[in-house]
Structure 1
Amino acid sequence: MTVEHSSKSLTQVVNEASSGNILLPNFQRQFVWTADAHRQIAASVLINIPCGSLLLVTGKSTDFSSRRVGHSQSETDNQTGTPCEFLLDGQQRVSTLRALFSDPFEGDWIEAYNQTFTRLRSRWSMRVKPAKPEDPDLFGWKMLRFKELPPEPDLVSDAIVQHPVTKTKNFDKWAHPAFERDAKRSAQQLRIGASAAADGQVPLWEVCNSDEFTIAKNALDEIAEDRRKEMLAAIRDNELSLEDLDNFLKPDELPEDVTDDEVDNRLRDRKYAWIQAILNLLRKVKEFKLSTITLTADELSKAIAIFEAINRGGTPLSAFDLVTARYARGQSGHSLPELVQDFIAQYPSVLPPAVSTKSAYTEWAAEDNVGLVEGALTTNFKTQFLQSMSMNRALSRHGPGHRFTVDEIKPQNTLQFSSADVDEFWQPSCDAILQAWRFLQIRCGVKDEGALRNKLLILPIAVTLPTISESDIKKFDMVEYWYWCSVLTNTYTNRQNENAAADANQLREWLANPNGPNPFSSREQRVFNDEGYSSRETLLRTSEESRVGTDVGQYLLQFVCASGGRDLLTDQLLNVQRDSLQDHHLIPLATATTIGQSSSEIRKGKTPIAELLNSPLNRAYVLKSTNLSIGSKSLQQYISSIKDSAKSSIHLTLDSSYTQKDSNFDEYARDTLGARFDQVKSAAVKHLSNLRPAL
């Protein structure tokens, strides 16, 4: 793969970003860099340290749905198809550099404020006069002598000053765009410069906006003039020696040879030289080189590999990003992420009859739960959404009886989608994934996206639920039956892609003919019988070789919760969406202190009793407040505080008369958890029998 490297000046990049010649494809990544990150990259530019490559794709403004750099909303007026470049990697850097070294608030500042990401609503300046006597004199203000900045970014970054722009206040602050707004331009610039000088600062927003540096010159002139007068007074008062001033005396010249007028003239020359040295620094910033890699639109498939090579450790470029980039608004006039986000935010909260089978649930919300969290689409949801789109297009092309291949469930298939394909399949695919998540949370107790350990499990659910009537409880039961048979066995431990494709095919066929053969009957026989995964010996850790993975632990928590699990202390039915739940040790680890081990040793699980107490059989969801309360109780106090109905709901038998001092703790714990295994398995067998169609 051949890649052409080039470069652009900072001024060129910033001005092209401001004018719309460089646009951001609607990946909908939020601007996340902090004020400290602004200072760090400003310092890097000031001392000429490279700050990474930009990845660009050439095209026309109508090619991709996009927005201006630094703006939070999509473009609405780029329908003319003008030539431009799309920034695939470098949004944080270019947005920050534009905020630092240009003036995004020029013109209608209120409109600019409304369009700009919150973290970019600031102007920036450079402190050239130390704020305190003990601060480093980076710009040579004390002697009006500046050569270059030290090559220490952390030190230089301390001189970069943020001035937050607010919409309703601080109009009297010199860095605010409304400051002296009614004055004529030259008068306004003069007053800004004078006020900046009073703070010992020079505005940075002229760097890419002006060749004149009018405000900076005004500020520097006042700062330097004040310092010149201070130095002249100090010389006259014999507090400052001419010999201490670098290059002030000519060769072989003595201080007494220099007249007072000559001292004054040389200090004036020194002042102007210092001003020019600072301005030259800013002029060099204008020409700071940013490395670029530019692709043509037909080379988009190279972007992921290039991105990973030039941006290790950054937010990965995903298939969703590239599909978004290629979707030029389609028929809707909106970007794909905007469409999906709005769909999730407006998803109905009313529960269909076949989903709402538990009294703990009366409604369900997707936003800030799954898919869309804190205003951004989650990585898992974006991948699942693309997989669903790929599967839906396959069904559309080949008919409802089509049997999926492994390749057809891969998100990369959607890279070849046209805008028409996206228009056709985005909404049913988004709906399918949300239906699946609603089902998983309410029917199966899956707390959040992280609790679904095997991510591909969602695909058979997403491809089947939209084909079932929302009042058909028996068919929803069949889907739930498949889920428990899959997660309470080691089916998805390996070959997840193959299993997901095969299960999507078999589950659809079974739902179409519920009275036909049950394709998952052999899987049902393995529930809580799979050696090394969910068998009694494995979960009780009865041999040194027995180890339990994280997956079955999550699914055991879910099964107990979904089967009517109650909180241990409040006895309320648990709701995985509403309640703040924590994974709780039923026999507390604090009891380890009576058997000669610390809680930290127990958590490491290196002894038989530690292995046992860390088993999934010793875990259950409880309210966060309950977990905190139980943590401080002794075993006897803890047991006596649990209501029988709560113990029964999580299949737990704890002897309230148990006295730890007089008993074999190891035996007690093993008997208790062994009894729990038997009860959970019995409950699972009964539940699966009720879920599958009667023979």
Structure 2
Amino acid sequence: MGFQTPQYKLSKLLEQAGNGTIQLPDFQRGYKWDEERVRSLLVTVTLGHPLGVLMLLQTGNDQVRFKPKAIEGTPPEAGQESPDLLLLDGQQRLTSLYQSLTGSGVVDTEDTRKKQVKRRFYIDIARALEDPARRDEAIVTMPGDGIERTNFGKDIRLDVSTPDKERVHGFFPFRLVYDTPGQLDWLWKFPGATGDGAARMALIHRFQAEILTPMQSYEIPAIELDRSTTKGAVATVFEKVNTGGLPLNVFELLTATFAGDAAYFAQHGDDFRLNDDWQLTDQVIAAHPVLHGIRNTDFLQAVTLLVTAHGKSFTSARKEDVLRLELSDYLAWADKVRAALVWVAQFLRDEHIHRARDIPYPTQLVPLAVIRVILGEEADVYGVRNRLRQWFWCGILGELYGGATETRFARDVDQVPGWARAGISGNTDVPVPATVSAATFAESRLLSLRTRQSAAYKGLHALLMAQGAKDWRFNKSFDYTQYLALDVDIHHIFPKKWCNDNEVPRNLRESIVNKTPLAAKTNLLIGGASPATYMRKLETAAGLDSDELDAIVGAHLIDTKALRHADFEAFFLARRRALLGLVEQAMGKRAQQDVEAGALTGGEEAPEAFADEADDPEDTDVIVSVVSS
């Protein structure tokens, strides 16, 4: 990649934007600046201050075939030309300058309330010449028709809707700064403050010398990338330079690349629109709320993993490899990934993960979808599915998908399908995937899992529901329908108030060991009471005898005898052992027992921050929804 750093006259940039010599790549988002930012930009130009660097890319690059689009506000014919340069950074500034300094000077912008408006911009000549330090006050914004109204539009406060009226008020329009004939005509007819001809000419000469001439020679520095620049380099440079706008991602880059695919156009007579294709994926996501966290870049990573796994020497989901995607490869796999996402949603539901916010590692869904594509219907065969579950839970409980995910994506796509198939073939020579073999869980981790920010915390919440736990009051399983209908969340077993009253250490009170999934109304009924009290209350409210209730509560891996005696220590020790067994069952391996038997604390606890917890509800006659207590 080579580049140069030329200085462009603003007048030349406006000319190139207007004739289509400079255009935007198709990935650039729309024009978004509000009127105050446009006004401030014009102040900067009138003062001769720098407004930042533009970044341009030379066209004619075999590696970067971005589809161009004209800058907003330019003539229709500008978009019909083949540009010499693509504007990668500086769209908002150049669009603002083009619309305010050419043509009618009317800018399509928005006001402080984000309402779309049309605005013109003027220089108050008298104020502009008084004091350069107060130049900001001399740059005036007016409605697009040049008339400022008050009293809900009934009265006119200021009217500069015609050149004559502009001259009467001494408001020089920015649209004429680079229009020499129009500018001279406007100034020639401009009256002096006293009507004296000599005074008028002196004012005109001073305005030209101090304001207009410096503006006409104003220059903007640029970084101009040459034709050898790759898409990856464009993305990297853009991210470094584009600090004022939204960061560029691979989806926007590929949108422009695919739109410029000549072979597709020759076959279909139209450009491929990646955004339109993404709408098909978005429909799948909309139909399955648990998938709502999946982004368009995740989808592209899944496609790239499949493309590289089937046609390259290595499997990859790195950005630079996503950017190398050919449209034909994308089209070969996109529909298969979409179909796999439906399967992923059902897989999550089977594991009792019902909402997007409850997914331990959203990133893990990328390789999960890819593995489903590779395995096809075999993914639902009992022996294969069991191994997929083991891999899934090893990733979560081993907390392995929190960093360096692109490398893990590729490794799992290479290793998991063959190992999963060995679950029915019985082939013992297939190596265990690294995510399974490397996953470990220590008993002490149960003591430090205290907030829903942790993947393992969310995972245990789901595992408890999946292994048969029911709500204590309604005796209903936590399937998808009941989970939503009952407003289920994870709540304290020994209530927060009881723990505080009985001086239970905060780290034990907030541990996952003292949490379990319950309906909001069940948690409300429990309130802040002692378990010895609320268990009797539950029997009456639910119409259950003590044995029936003990069976329901016991399915949450709770020692009900300790609970009914409000024996926190016995309860905590028994449930910690039971939860450790649940973890071992899900991971298919022994956990590390690093807490001394009979000790409430020990081992190496991870230093996690506590989340703010709501107080337990105390007035059970008030019907409210308690989300977390």
TM bucket by the smaller chain? 0.5 to 0.7
The CA deviation at 1:687 is 6.7
Residue type at the aligned position of 2:118? R
Give the aligned partner of residue 438 of structure 1: 345
Question: Are 1:344 and 2:281 counterparts?
Answer: yes
The CA deviation at 1:325 is 3.9
Question: Are 1:85 and 2:89 counterparts?
Answer: no
User: d(CA) in 1 for partners of 2:184 and 2:502?
Assistant: 77
1:311-345 Cα offsets, whole Å, 9 max, x none, are 44754444444444433145163455324432224
Question: Are 1:586 and 2:492 counterparts?
Answer: yes
User: d(CA) in 2 for partners of 1:214 and 1:510?
Assistant: 80
Secondary structure at the residue paired with 1:298? coil
The CA deviation at 1:504 is 1.9
Unaligned 5+ segments in structure 1 are 130-138, 166-170, 176-188, 229-263, 350-362, 372-377, 399-403, 597-607, 690-695
1:175-232 Cα offsets, whole Å, 9 max, x none, are 9xxxxxxxxxxxxx984446668998665455567762499869x95xx77xx4xxxx
1:21-46 Cα offsets, whole Å, 9 max, x none, are 22222225455544444344333333
Secondary structure at the residue paired with 1:23? strand
Secondary structure at the residue paired with 1:416? coil
User: d(CA) in 1 for partners of 2:12 and 2:515?
Assistant: 59
Are residues 591 and 121 of structure 1, via their aligned partners in 2, closer, same or farther at CA, if it must alter by over 3 Å? same
The 5 Å alignment of 1:460-475 reads 460-465=368-373, 467-469=375-377, 472=380, 474=382, 475=384
Give the aligned partner of residue 218 of structure 2: 288
User: d(CA) in 1 for partners of 2:94 and 2:486?
Assistant: 39
The CA deviation at 1:6 is 0.9
1:400-440 Cα offsets, whole Å, 9 max, x none, are xxxx846x332312333444444444x24752674475356
User: d(CA) in 2 for partners of 1:145 and 1:212?
Assistant: 21
- Residue identity over aligned pairs, in percent, reads 16
| Mapped contact 2:126–2:170 kept (Cα < 8 A) | no
Question: Are 1:364 and 2:288 counterparts?
Answer: yes
| Mapped contact 2:56–2:223 kept (Cα < 8 A) | yes
| Mapped contact 2:412–2:434 kept (Cα < 8 A) | no
Alignment: residue pair count: 549
1:240-273 Cα offsets, whole Å, 9 max, x none, are xxxxxxxxxxxxxxxxxxxxxxxx4559826971
Give the aligned partner of residue 416 of structure 1: 324
| Mapped contact 1:14–1:98 kept (Cα < 8 A) | yes
User: d(CA) in 2 for partners of 1:595 and 1:290?
Assistant: 70
The counterpart of 1:148, out of the listed 132, 136, 140, is 132
Secondary structure at the residue paired with 2:130? coil
Are residues 648 and 68 of structure 1, via their aligned partners in 2, closer, same or farther at CA, if it must alter by over 3 Å? farther
Give the aligned partner of residue 237 of structure 2: 306
Question: Are 1:123 and 2:118 counterparts?
Answer: yes
Are residues 57 and 28 of structure 1, via their aligned partners in 2, closer, same or farther at CA, if it must alter by over 3 Å? closer
Are residues 412 and 174 of structure 1, via their aligned partners in 2, closer, same or farther at CA, if it must alter by over 3 Å? same
Secondary structure at the residue paired with 2:288? coil
CA RMSD of aligned residues (A): 5.7
Higher deviation after alignment, 648-657 or 9-18: 648-657
Are residues 288 and 199 of structure 1, via their aligned partners in 2, closer, same or farther at CA, if it must alter by over 3 Å? same
Are residues 547 and 554 of structure 1, via their aligned partners in 2, closer, same or farther at CA, if it must alter by over 3 Å? closer
User: d(CA) in 2 for partners of 1:52 and 1:479?
Assistant: 52
Secondary structure at the residue paired with 1:347? helix
Higher deviation after alignment, 408-417 or 649-658: 649-658
User: d(CA) in 2 for partners of 1:103 and 1:575?
Assistant: 60
Residue type at the aligned position of 1:269? A
User: d(CA) in 1 for partners of 2:146 and 2:526?
Assistant: 55
User: d(CA) in 1 for partners of 2:204 and 2:485?
Assistant: 64
User: d(CA) in 2 for partners of 1:420 and 1:63?
Assistant: 15
Question: Are 1:552 and 2:474 counterparts?
Answer: no
Secondary structure at the residue paired with 1:409? coil
Are residues 453 and 618 of structure 1, via their aligned partners in 2, closer, same or farther at CA, if it must alter by over 3 Å? farther
User: d(CA) in 2 for partners of 1:22 and 1:266?
Assistant: 46
Question: Are 1:505 and 2:414 counterparts?
Answer: yes
- TM-score, normalised relative to structure 2: 0.66
Secondary structure at the residue paired with 1:480? helix
Question: Are 1:455 and 2:392 counterparts?
Answer: no
Give the aligned partner of residue 135 of structure 1: none
Question: Are 1:212 and 2:157 counterparts?
Answer: no
Give the aligned partner of residue 388 of structure 2: 479
Give the aligned partner of residue 442 of structure 2: 535
Higher deviation after alignment, 309-318 or 505-514: 309-318
The CA deviation at 1:87 is 1.7
Give the aligned partner of residue 488 of structure 1: 397
- TM-score, normalised relative to structure 1: 0.61
Question: Are 1:48 and 2:44 counterparts?
Answer: no
Give the aligned partner of residue 10 of structure 1: 10
| Mapped contact 2:290–2:356 kept (Cα < 8 A) | no
Question: Are 1:516 and 2:426 counterparts?
Answer: yes
The CA deviation at 1:462 is 1.8
Unaligned 5+ segments in structure 2 are 150-158, 543-548, 589-629
1:436-460 Cα offsets, whole Å, 9 max, x none, are 7535653442743895547256224
Are residues 310 and 457 of structure 1, via their aligned partners in 2, closer, same or farther at CA, if it must alter by over 3 Å? same
| Mapped contact 2:105–2:175 kept (Cα < 8 A) | no
User: d(CA) in 1 for partners of 2:257 and 2:362?
Assistant: 30
Are residues 615 and 631 of structure 1, via their aligned partners in 2, closer, same or farther at CA, if it must alter by over 3 Å? farther
Are residues 589 and 311 of structure 1, via their aligned partners in 2, closer, same or farther at CA, if it must alter by over 3 Å? farther
| Mapped contact 2:56–2:89 kept (Cα < 8 A) | yes
Are residues 269 and 370 of structure 1, via their aligned partners in 2, closer, same or farther at CA, if it must alter by over 3 Å? same
User: d(CA) in 1 for partners of 2:517 and 2:102?
Assistant: 53
Residue type at the aligned position of 1:306? V
The 5 Å alignment of 1:51-200 reads 51-59=51-59, 63-70=65-72, 82-102=82-102, 121-126=116-121, 140-141=126-127, 145-150=129-134, 156=136, 161=141, 163=143, 191-193=161-163
Residue type at the aligned position of 1:364? H
Higher deviation after alignment, 467-476 or 482-491: 467-476
The CA deviation at 1:656 is 12
Give the aligned partner of residue 359 of structure 1: none
The CA deviation at 1:578 is 7.6
User: d(CA) in 1 for partners of 2:172 and 2:554?
Assistant: 68
User: d(CA) in 1 for partners of 2:24 and 2:288?
Assistant: 34
User: d(CA) in 2 for partners of 1:557 and 1:157?
Assistant: 60
1:112-134 Cα offsets, whole Å, 9 max, x none, are 99xxxx979543344666xxxxx
User: d(CA) in 1 for partners of 2:9 and 2:224?
Assistant: 15
| Mapped contact 1:329–1:335 kept (Cα < 8 A) | yes
Secondary structure at the residue paired with 1:69? coil
1:494-519 Cα offsets, whole Å, 9 max, x none, are 76555433332332114444232587
User: d(CA) in 1 for partners of 2:400 and 2:277?
Assistant: 32
Secondary structure at the residue paired with 1:508? helix
Residue type at the aligned position of 2:456? V
User: d(CA) in 1 for partners of 2:466 and 2:282?
Assistant: 26
| Mapped contact 1:566–1:650 kept (Cα < 8 A) | yes
| Mapped contact 1:540–1:673 kept (Cα < 8 A) | no
The CA deviation at 1:484 is 1.5
Residue type at the aligned position of 1:550? S
Residue type at the aligned position of 2:182? E
1:580-609 Cα offsets, whole Å, 9 max, x none, are 98975526666676478xxxxxxxxxxx92
